[in-house]
């Protein structure tokens, strides 16, 4: 109990609201009692078989359903589930007012009945990620990644024994060996290569028709960011990078959690002849500023008519940010 009071006092005494929120969240991860107390009056993000619950407002835009713990408790009762399912909720963040945010997957319950009771629809993450705006898309992606990790981490890979989660869901411990497991992400480098005048975009055969993006690749064990970047560019398009700069990073939920580190890189115009590895990329090409600028100005493609060429990654993707930064830098 003393520890509970210490965490609450520590977070409320801090002058910065950001520091206060981070200390509050860390306290919830470290102390199961504090976390249980926070779960009793929290914001809840509901999922059904890893698809988030969305609601459409009068303007036709989508938002996550705004549910509180008490709403979910009533829902579980109405769906004939016992309230202990609530204990499977996973901590994902907190609001500006230090109100904890949790997510819960009710995949074992009737989807249609849950949708009717909540006035919403469970929408596949690939679709919902791009329907949501602002801070909601990354929060929902994080929630789904954590839920998926719990669903696939029930047993210890060393002993085969069950693992048990802490209340926040930030770790799992093997009941036999005590080995602690933490949620896993794969580091990926994504790079927009330029020769000064043009930028290099490529597409995999599995991409939607017309879509071109920056080059990307998973880090090999033991590699630095710069080693992955140089290796991927050499492997995929046969170029040698001269210099690079870091731009930004992003958690990317598809197909499984990746930690994307986004960079700009330059190659010499005298050595810009592409030698594409077609086992990795269906196509890779140099695009002029004008081609990229007009692709950026084309409204988002929604299917039906033929896609624009090139069709660029959507705003939520860090590849989009790299492309807009390159346009700004080359025009200034
Ligand atoms: N957010 C964005 O803007 C954006 C843009 C482009 C690509 N991406 C993501 O980047 C990721 C990597 O791109 P890529 O597919 O070109 O990588 P890649 O060039 O490394 O090729 C993928 C191959 O790498 C191997 N691989 C090695 N380590 C792996 C691991 N930890 N997980 C899965 N496969 C592994 C597999 O054989 C796989 O087929 C993809 O998941 C893609 O979704 C994100
Ligand atoms: Mg690649």
**Mind listing the pLDDT tens digit for each residue in 304-316?**
666 667 899 999 9
Ligand nearest to the CA of 317: 1
Confidence grade of residue 11 (pLDDT, cut at 50, 70, 90): low
* Probe residue for ligand 1, chosen from 129, 204, 216 as the CB with the greatest number of ligand atoms within 8 Å: 216
Q: Residue 116 Cα, ligand 2 centroid: separation in angstroms?
A: 42
Contact 99, 92 (CB under 8 A): no
Report which ligand 1 atom has the smallest distance to the Cα of 322: 3
Q: Residue 52 Cα, ligand 2 centroid: separation in angstroms?
A: 28
Q: Where are the beta strands (DSSP E) in 30-113?
A: 43-48, 51-56, 62-64, 67-68, 90-94, 100-105
Tens digit of each residue's pLDDT (9 = 90 or more) over 87-101: 999 999 999 988 999
Give CA–CA dist 71/225, Å, rounded. 45
Confidence grade of residue 4 (pLDDT, cut at 50, 70, 90): very low
Lookup result for tokens 């819960």: 104
Q: What is the ipTM of this complex?
A: 0.96
Confidence grade of residue 299 (pLDDT, cut at 50, 70, 90): confident
Give the residue whose CA is nearest to atom 29 of ligand 1: 218
Give CA–CA dist 135/260, Å, rounded. 17
Q: Residue 291: name the closest of 266, 314, 306, 310 by CA.
A: 310
Q: Residue 290 Cα, ligand 2 centroid: separation in angstroms?
A: 25
Confidence grade of residue 1 (pLDDT, cut at 50, 70, 90): very low
Tens digit of each residue's pLDDT (9 = 90 or more) over 199-254: 999 999 999 999 999 999 999 999 999 999 999 999 999 999 999 999 999 999 99
* Probe residue for ligand 1, chosen from 207, 217, 218 as the CB with the greatest number of ligand atoms within 8 Å: 218
Give the best-scoring range by mean pLDDT among 26-35, 134-143, 295-304. Answer: 26-35
Give CA–CA dist 138/64, Å, rounded. 12
Contact 32, 3 (CB under 8 A): no
Neighbour-count burial for 112-141, b at 16+ CB within 10 Å, e otherwise? eebbeebebbbbebeebbebbeeebbbbbb
Ligand nearest to the CA of 137: 1
Q: What is the pLDDT of residue 14?
A: 56
**Local structure of residue 159 (DSSP, 8 states):** T
Give CA–CA dist 171/146, Å, rounded. 10
Q: Where are the beta strands (DSSP E) in 230-322?
A: 243-252, 258-266, 283-288
Q: Average pLDDT, whole number, for the chain?
A: 93
User: What is the pTM for the complete model shown?
Assistant: 0.91
Q: Are strands 100-105 and 43-48 parallel, antiparallel or unpaired?
A: parallel
* Probe residue for ligand 1, chosen from 187, 188, 227 as the CB with the greatest number of ligand atoms within 8 Å: 188
Tens digit of each residue's pLDDT (9 = 90 or more) over 77-130: 999 998 899 999 999 999 998 899 999 999 999 999 999 999 999 999 999 998
Report which ligand 1 atom has the smallest distance to the Cα of 186: 31
Residue 302 has pLDDT above 90, yes or no: no
Q: Who lines ligand 1 at CB under 6 A?
A: 186, 188, 190, 213, 216-218, 250, 252, 254-255, 258, 260, 280, 313, 317-319
Q: What is the pLDDT of residue 82?
A: 83
């Amino acid at each position: 109990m003393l520890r509970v009071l210490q965490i609450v006092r520590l977070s409320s005494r801090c002058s910065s609201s950001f520091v206060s929120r981070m200390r509050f969240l860390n306290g919830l991860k470290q102390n199961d009692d504090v976390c249980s107390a926070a779960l009793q009056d929290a914001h809840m993000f509901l999922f059904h078989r890893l698809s988030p619950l969305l609601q459409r407002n009068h303007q036709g835009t989508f938002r996550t359903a705004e549910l509180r713990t008490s709403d979910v408790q009533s829902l579980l009762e109405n769906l004939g589930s016992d309230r202990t399912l609530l204990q499977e909720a996973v901590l994902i963040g907190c609001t500006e007012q230090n109100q904890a945010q949790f997510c819960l997957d009710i995949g074992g319950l009737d989807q249609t009945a849950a949708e009717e009771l909540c006035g919403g629809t469970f929408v596949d993450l690939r679709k919902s990620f791009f329907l949501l705006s602002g801070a909601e898309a990354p929060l929902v992606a994080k929630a789904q990644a954590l839920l998926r990790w719990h669903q696939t981490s029930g047993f210890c890979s060393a002993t085969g024994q069950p693992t048990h989660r802490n209340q926040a869901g930030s770790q799992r411990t093997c009941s036999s060996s005590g080995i602690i497991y933490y949620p896993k992400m794969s580091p990926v480098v994504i790079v927009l290569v330029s020769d000064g005048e043009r930028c290099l975009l490529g597409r995999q055969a599995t991409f939607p028709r017309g879509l071109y993006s920056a080059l990307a690749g998973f880090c090999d064990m033991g590699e630095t960011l710069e080693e992955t970047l140089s290796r991927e560019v050499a492997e995929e398009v046969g170029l040698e990078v001269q210099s690079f700069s870091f731009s930004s990073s992003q958690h990317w939920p598809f197909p499984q959690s990746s930690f994307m580190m986004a960079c700009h890189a330059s190659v010499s115009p005298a050595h810009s002849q592409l030698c594409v590895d077609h086992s990795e990329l269906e196509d890779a090409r140099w695009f002029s500023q004008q081609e990229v600028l007009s692709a950026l100005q084309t409204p988002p493609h929604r299917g039906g008519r033929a896609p624009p060429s090139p069709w660029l990654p959507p705003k939520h993707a860090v590849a989009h940010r790299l492309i807009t930064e390159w346009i700004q830098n080359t025009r200034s």
